[in-house]
């Protein structure tokens, strides 16, 4: 099943085609929530901004909800307040509140120890809007991914993957080890994050199946966004809207956690698809990373 998911994504790339998802079958699916799953530094903020430009999609900054059982748990997590800002901004938009009122709403949810499901209900209650939650920490744990299946009725997923050399270099340059407060050699941690997240995303995608899980390569997205986004829109069950090609347009939700450099780019930069070619890591990639990268169709430099 995994080989089929990857093959399908790579065949789409070869054909330059936006294969349309199969029609829904069996019991009805949840059309109010979907997820973008990836390792950090895979271009997920860019994809979020693209999707948030669509009038039928609500794709707020990172929420960190699914990896917590309830709001007391969310509040107790060892991440900085900056990471809590994504939910505040999402509540602002969903409940049409100003920042102070949205913050007070979030604080009240924490005080009441509201369940994660209750908070999702608040965010996905907007008629005609599909909430797309893109939070890269979800992919770190299979239990977290499984929670999406428990909380929602067969939601749809987009798995976003990127070349490991580009992801690890970006992880180290942006000091994600410090931001995430993890100790150890940053290159080793970057590689471990890439392996763990991508391994989980693929294993989960394999379990979900191609009907509800679609694999996207970052490199395809930035080189030729239109066919990729046409396919992603169809997969999420919304009509294609060319606004998704304009992630830097007026009124996009830029603030909150995510890529801190996103503002600076100003346009979709296709050259970053080849960023990995000029990366030289201090040590060769380990066996697991090499194997996973090859399965994803990535070319790797020969080992010294």
Residues that bind ligand A3P (CB under 6 A): 40-46, 136, 170, 173-174, 222, 258-259, 261-262, 265, 268-269, 272
Nearer to ligand A3P, 109 or 158 (CB): 158
Nearest approach, Cβ of 48 to ligand A3P (angstroms)?
7
Nearest approach, Cβ of 145 to ligand A3P (angstroms)?
17
Nearest approach, Cβ of 151 to ligand A3P (angstroms)?
23
Question: What would you measure as the largest C-alpha separation in the chain, in angstroms?
Answer: 57
Nearest approach, Cβ of 222 to ligand A3P (angstroms)?
4
Nearer to ligand A3P, 32 or 135 (CB): 135
Where is 130: in which H helix or E strand?
strand 130-134
CA-CA distance, 184 to 68, in Å (whole number)?
25
Q: Check: CB of residue 90 under 8 Å from CB of residue 74.
A: no
> Which of the 8 DSSP states describes residue 213?
E
Q: Are strands 156-161 and 33-38 parallel, antiparallel or unpaired?
A: parallel
Nearest approach, Cβ of 95 to ligand A3P (angstroms)?
26
**Structure token digits, residue 275:** 């960023």
**Structure token digits, residue 89:** 């901004």
Nearer to ligand A3P, 205 or 247 (CB): 247
Q: Which residues contact 104 (CB under 8 A, 6 or more apart)?
A: none
Nearer to ligand A3P, 32 or 138 (CB): 138
Nearer to ligand A3P, 118 or 269 (CB): 269
């Amino acid at each position: 099943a995994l080989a089929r998911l990857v093959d399908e994504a790579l065949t789409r790339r070869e054909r330059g085609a936006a294969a349309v998802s199969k029609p829904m079958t069996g019991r009805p699916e949840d059309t109010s929530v979907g997820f973008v799953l990836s390792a950090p530094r895979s271009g997920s903020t860019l994809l979020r901004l693209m999707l948030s430009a669509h009038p039928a999609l609500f794709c707020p900054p990172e929420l960190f909800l699914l990896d917590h059982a309830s709001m007391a748990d969310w509040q107790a997590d060892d991440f900085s307040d900056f990471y809590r800002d994504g939910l505040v901004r999402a509540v602002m938009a969903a409940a049409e509140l100003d920042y102070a009122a949205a913050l007070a709403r979030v604080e009240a949810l924490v005080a009441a120890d509201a369940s994660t499901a209750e908070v999702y209900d608040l965010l996905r209650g907007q008629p005609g809007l599909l909430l797309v939650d893109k939070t890269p920490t979800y992919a770190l744990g299979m239990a977290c991914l499984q929670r999406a299946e428990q909380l929602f009725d067969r939601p749809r997923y987009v798995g976003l993957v990127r070349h490991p050399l580009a992801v690890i270099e970006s992880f180290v340059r942006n000091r994600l080890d410090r931001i995430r407060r993890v100790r150890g050699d940053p290159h080793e941690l970057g590689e471990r994050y890439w392996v763990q997240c991508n391994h989980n995303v693929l294993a989960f995608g394999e379990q979900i199946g191609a009907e509800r899980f679609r694999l996207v390569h970052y490199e395809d997205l930035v080189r030729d966004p239109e066919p990729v986004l046409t396919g992603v829109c169809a997969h999420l069950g919304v009509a294609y809207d060319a606004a998704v090609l304009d992630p830097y347009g007026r009124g996009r939700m830029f603030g909150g956690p995510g890529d801190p450099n996103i503002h600076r780019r100003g346009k979709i930069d296709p050259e970053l698809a080849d960023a990995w070619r000029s990366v030289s890591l201090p040590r060769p990639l380990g066996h697991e990373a090499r194997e996973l990268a090859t399965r994803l169709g990535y070319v790797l430099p020969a080992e010294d």
